[in-house]
């Protein structure tokens, strides 16, 4: 009964603190729409500058135009599975202007097509021993997009050259799809991480539920009422699971409203979300142990929030630093944060169509980390805020 009474009290107080609650509920759906708008308005299209030295009179046999123009057409037509173009091809005359654009990151790669390109293609068609034409790539090493753009442009150029010269490549490669049934857009790949942001926001409402009792001086009365630490945390956890689930559903519906098509079960997502919310509550107890006022929570408390956000792969993918293996699964350094495992579980369910059985390692890891953080958090919280003077 004490647990239910404190659960009701905590839930009502969270509802009264509408500013913090509104921030928690709106934050993740807001980012879903922002990221969708960003990727929709600015798809990953590489700017490819072309300096063409193949003269207008150099027409490859069997074609009505120079081979260089055919190659540029191949670059322009290169597209992804969703129909978006890989390249924005711009023919440029001034090498100095092209280098300036590369240095300013206004373009990603410059390709120089040599004089006699069409003649070389003809020679290769007539004799496989003919010397191939030489394309010169210029890239800005400080621009990470340059390497990817060059790889794509080279691949298209190789394909064009083999077809135009009617020769076979030295190596044949075939592709067999595994996992998903279709190529994921960048927004779809980010969606699981955006849902985890909804759960991370619970840190503020959960910590606030505990810190308010310390800030208002009511913690001593709770101790006199014989409310145990376990009862207090069960009540707080239940209220935060409700808030966390509601926030996640809002973010999920925001994604669906802009065309996101999850492959896995929403029920499986909700199970992982509930367990992960309790894990965030455990971290919140640890945070609350060092704070005494709501003001401190909204200032100093932002530091652990950003740790969870940035080191859980919730904002951008981080390099994987493996520590050891457990039952054939790699445990990385960032996996000491339960939300890192949540991102992996959501990705497996939503984008790969996995069931709960497919994420049992991540679920087990979240449970173990929850117990670990609760143990440390409870000890510190009782030592700092629940000691009888």
Confidence of residue 42 (pLDDT cuts 50, 70, 90): low
Confidence band of 267 (pLDDT split at 50, 70, 90) = very high
| Domain range 44-165, CATH architecture | 3-Layer(aba) Sandwich (3.40)
For 169-193, write each residue's pLDDT tens digit. 777 777 676 665 567 777 888 889 8
Q: Is-contact 109 70, C-beta < 8 A?
A: no
Inform me whether the pLDDT recorded for 389 exceeds 60.
no
Give the sheet arrangement for strand 109-113, strand by strand: 87-91, 46-52, 109-113, 136-139
Tokens linked to 340 = 């890192």
Mean pLDDT of 295-311: 84
If you average pLDDT over residues 362-368, what whole number do you get?
A: 94
Supply the pTM of this predicted model.
Answer: 0.76
The whole-number pLDDT of residue 304 equals: 87
Which of 171, 204, 381 minimizes the C-alpha distance to 277?
204
Domain boundaries, the chain: 2-38+182-385, 44-165
pLDDT given at position 34: 87
Percentage of residues in the chain having pLDDT higher than 90: 26
Q: With a cut of 50, say whether residue 200 has pLDDT above it.
A: yes
Confidence of residue 366 (pLDDT cuts 50, 70, 90): very high
Per-residue pLDDT band at 57 (split at 50, 70, 90):
very low
Q: Which residues contact 230 (CB under 8 A, 6 or more apart)?
A: none
Distance CA 78, CA 84 (A): 9
Looking at the predicted structure, is the pLDDT value of residue 276 above 60? Answer: yes
Q: What is the CA radius of gyration of the chain?
A: 29
What average pLDDT does this structure show over 115-124? 84
The chain-wide mean pLDDT, for the chain, equals 83
Percent of the chain with pLDDT over 70: 87
How far apart are alpha carbons 20 and 305 in whole angstroms? 14
Whole-angstrom Cα distance, residue 272 to residue 343? 10
Q: Name the E strands within the chain.
A: 46-52, 87-91, 109-113, 136-139, 322-326, 329-332
List, for residues 138-173, the tens digit of each pLDDT value. 998 888 888 889 999 999 998 888 888 887 777 777
Q: 316-344: per-residue pLDDT in tens?
A: 777 788 888 888 888 888 889 999 999 99
Read off the DSSP letter of residue 180. S
DSSP state of 132: P
User: What is the tally of helices (H) and strands (E) in the chain?
Assistant: 15, 6
pLDDT-derived band at 63, boundaries 50, 70, 90: low
Tell me the DSSP string of 55-95.
-TT-B-TT-SSBHHHHHHHHHHH-B-TTS-BSEEEEE-S-H
Given a cut of 90, whether residue 12 has pLDDT beyond it is no
The answer to whether residue 388 scores a pLDDT higher than 60 is no
pLDDT at 271 over 90: yes
Q: With 80 as the cut, is the pLDDT of residue 356 above it?
A: yes
């Amino acid at each position: 009964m004490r647990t239910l009474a404190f659960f009701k009290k905590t839930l009502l107080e969270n509802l009264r603190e509408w500013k913090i609650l509104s921030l928690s509920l709106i934050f993740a759906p807001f980012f879903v729409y922002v990221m969708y708008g960003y990727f929709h308005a600015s798809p990953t299209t590489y700017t490819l500058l072309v300096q063409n030295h193949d003269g207008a009179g150099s027409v490859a046999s069997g074609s009505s135009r120079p081979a260089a123009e055919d190659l540029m057409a191949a670059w322009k037509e290169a597209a992804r599975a969703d129909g978006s173009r890989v390249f924005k091809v711009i023919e440029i005359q001034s090498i100095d202007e092209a280098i300036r654009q590369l240095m300013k990151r206004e373009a990603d790669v410059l390709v120089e097509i040599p004089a006699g390109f069409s003649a070389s293609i003809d020679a290769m068609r007539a004799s496989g021993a003919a010397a191939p034409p030489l394309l010169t790539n210029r890239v800005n090493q400080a621009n990470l997009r340059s390497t990817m753009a060059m790889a794509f442009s080279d691949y298209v150029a190789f394909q064009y050259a083999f077809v135009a010269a009617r020769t076979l490549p030295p190596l044949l490669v075939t592709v067999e799809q595994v996992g998903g049934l279709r190529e994921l857009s960048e927004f779809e790949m980010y969606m699981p991480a955006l849902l985890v942001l909804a759960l991370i926001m619970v840190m503020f409402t959960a910590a606030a539920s505990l810190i308010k009792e310390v800030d208002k001086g009511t913690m001593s009365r709770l101790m006199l009422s014989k409310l145990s630490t376990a009862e207090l945390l069960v009540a707080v956890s239940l209220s935060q699971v409700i808030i966390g689930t509601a926030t996640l559903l809002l973010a999920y519906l925001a994604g669906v409203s802009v065309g996101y098509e999850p492959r896995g079960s929403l029920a499986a997502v909700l199970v992982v979300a509930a367990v992960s919310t309790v894990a965030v509550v455990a971290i919140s107890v640890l945070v609350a142990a060092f704070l005494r006022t709501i003001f401190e929570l909204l200032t100093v408390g932002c530091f652990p929030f950003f740790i969870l956000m940035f080191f859980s792969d919730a904002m951008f993918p981080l390099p994987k630093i493996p520590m050891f293996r457990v039952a054939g699964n790699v445990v990385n350094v960032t996996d000491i944060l339960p939300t890192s495992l949540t991102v992996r579980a959501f990705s497996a369910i939503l984008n790969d169509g996995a069931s709960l059985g497919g994420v049992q390692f991540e679920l087990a890891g979240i449970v173990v980390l929850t117990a670990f953080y609760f143990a440390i958090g409870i000890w510190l919280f009782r030592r700092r805020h629940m000691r009888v003077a």
